[in-house]
């Protein structure tokens, strides 16, 4: 692993896409978080990340089938991505998040 370099899942056509395009005149990247939601950052709920690209691609395939929309893999890096704070390395226990929103209340 190269420092703070991770693979994340993204969905170009997430639910807020039309509003964000109108407000910002561009697409705002959203990444899958540990609650199965699409988020711009991991400030409230950590983003799910992978250190292995093939494992991330496999997860994207599962999420694409479950959500019936294309989920792709991209990479992120930088000091703002801190394990345990803004990101969470994917484990089998996180598998449900690939399929949709989790109700953890």
Q: Tell me whether strands 87-89 and 47-49 are parallel, antiparallel or unpaired.
A: parallel
- Cβ neighbours around 78 below 10 Å, total: 11
DSSP state string for 47-76: EEEBS-HHHHHHHHHHHHHHHTS--EEEEE
Domain ranges, residue 16: 5-93
Q: Is the pTM of this model over 0.75?
A: yes
Q: How far apart are the first and last CA of the chain?
A: 34
- The predicted-structure confidence for 67-78, as pLDDT tens digits, reads as follows 999 999 999 998
Q: Into how many domains does the chain fold? A: 1
- Residue 55 resides in a domain: yes
> For residues 93 and 73, what is the distance between their CA atoms, to the nearest angstrom?
20
64 part of a folded domain: yes
80-92 pLDDT per residue, tens: 888 999 999 999 9
Mean pLDDT, each 10-residue run in order, the chain (105 residues)? 81 65 68 92 94 98 94 92 93 94 70
Residue at 82 is within a domain: yes
Q: Does residue 99 form part of some domain?
A: no
Burial class (CB within 10 angstroms; exposed 0-12, middle 13-18, buried 19+) of 36:
buried
């Amino acid at each position: 692993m190269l420092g703070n370099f991770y693979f994340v899942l993204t969905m170009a056509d997430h639910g807020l896409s039309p509003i964000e395009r109108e407000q910002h005149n561009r697409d705002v990247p959203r990444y899958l978080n540990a609650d199965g939601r699409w988020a711009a950052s991991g400030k409230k709920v950590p983003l799910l990340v992978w250190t292995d690209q093939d494992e991330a691609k496999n997860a994207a395939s599962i999420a694409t089938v479950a959500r019936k929309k294309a989920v792709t893999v991209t990479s992120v890096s930088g000091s703002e991505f801190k394990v345990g704070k803004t990101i969470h390395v994917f484990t089998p226990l996180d598998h449900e998040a690939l399929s949709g929103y989790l109700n953890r209340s």
